[in-house]
Amino acid sequence: MSFEDLKAKKPDFHIDGNPESNIKHVIGVVSGKGGVGKSSVTSAMASLMVKAGYKVGILDADITGPSIPKMYGVHGPALGNENGTFPVEAEDGTKIMSINLLLDDEEQPVVWRGPVIAGAVKQFWTDIIWGDLDYLFVDMPPGTGDVPLTVFQSLPVDGIVIVTSPQDLVSMIVKKAYNMANMMDIKVLGVVENYSYLACPDCGKILKPFGESHIDEVAKELHLEVLGKLPLDPEFAAIADAGKIYSREIKDLDKAVEVLKSIEK
């Protein structure tokens, strides 16, 4: 092997999962900035796949801002045995692991530095007994920092879904996430636009409170699929606060389901 070959060979940081986990597909959910709806879109895709008959888990990789347990109404402590820790099962059967299920006090902030946070995410892979799963969704913190990097390097990610909103600097943000995925040899499954529009509850008129969408143009330029455009949902807060996110009715992610079903190893 020549020196050039050596340089071109990327180091492999992949780590083995728990011996009692058998996970067919790992899907990352990312965004350029906070609050655009990653966790909501993660739960929406997860519950659609559950309804389609698949075994589904969610790894909440947002260590400093975990939101999945609350949306699903699950609480710790997660139980374990000598081989690892079990995820907590939501009412619809979704298996969930989040830092909040391991803390003694859910309201205690996590004040760890980057490497420790990244270590915790790796442990969600190595130490959690996921059992048999068809799809494990990884809900990321916003941006392209330590955690997405760790997940992309350490876990066998099949592909990522990029979530944006119309008021985002969509083009730049989608391209950043897209470029990061490319650098790590990870496939982008497509983009989901959240807060795309609002249907007036009285007359059904479509309003665009966050402005016109540019997602189609950006997706076309990058040869990406638009997996869905989700409306501002007036019922969302109530369902999420009640911990029943899985009961939300979602009509706008058919394309996402189709793409997820068609992933081949």
Binding site for Zn ion (CB under 5 A): 200, 202-203, 205
Using CB under 6 A as the binding rule, whether residue 35 contacts ligand ATP is answered as yes
Tokens 């391991």 — which residue?
102
Stretch that binds Mg ion, among 66-74, 117-125, 166-174, 238-246 (CB under 5 A): 66-74
Total of residues contacting Mg ion (CB under 5 A): 3
Q: Interface with ligand ATP includes 209 (CB under 6 A)?
A: no
CB 24 within 8 A of CB 49: no
- Using the contact rule CB under 5 A, the part of the chain among 32-40, 114-122, 155-163, 219-227 near Mg ion is 32-40
Q: Give me the amino acid identity at 262.
A: S
Considering only the stretches 31-39, 152-160, 200-208, 219-227, report the one whose residues sit in contact with ligand ATP under the rule CB under 6 A.
31-39
* Residue (130 or 197) nearer to ligand ATP, CB: 197
Q: Which is nearer to Mg ion, 139 or 158 (CB)?
A: 139
Q: Is 59 left (phi over 0), alpha (psi -120 to 50) or beta?
A: beta
Place of tokens 């990097």: 149
Q: Which does 205 bind (CB under 5 to 8 A by kind): Zn ion, ligand ATP, Mg ion, none?
A: Zn ion
CB 60 within 8 A of CB 139: yes
Q: How far apart are CA 170 and CA 156, in angstroms?
A: 27
Q: Does 154 bind ligand ATP (CB under 6 A)?
A: no
Residue among 100 and 194 whose Cβ is closer to ligand ATP: 194
Measured CA to CA, the distance from residue 126 to residue 21 in angstroms comes to 9
223 φψ region: left (φ > 0), alpha (ψ -120 to 50), beta (else): left
d(CA 224, CA 189): 7
237 contacts ligand ATP (rule: CB under 6 A): yes
Q: How many CA atoms lie within 13 A of 104 on its CB side?
A: 0
Q: What is the 8-class DSSP label of residue 65?
A: S
Work out whether 154 is an interface residue with Mg ion (CB under 5 A). Answer: no
Nearest residue (CB) to ligand ATP, 85 versus 194 = 194
Q: Which residues bind ligand ATP (CB under 6 A)?
A: 31, 34-40, 62, 65, 67, 142, 194-195, 230, 232-233, 236-237, 240
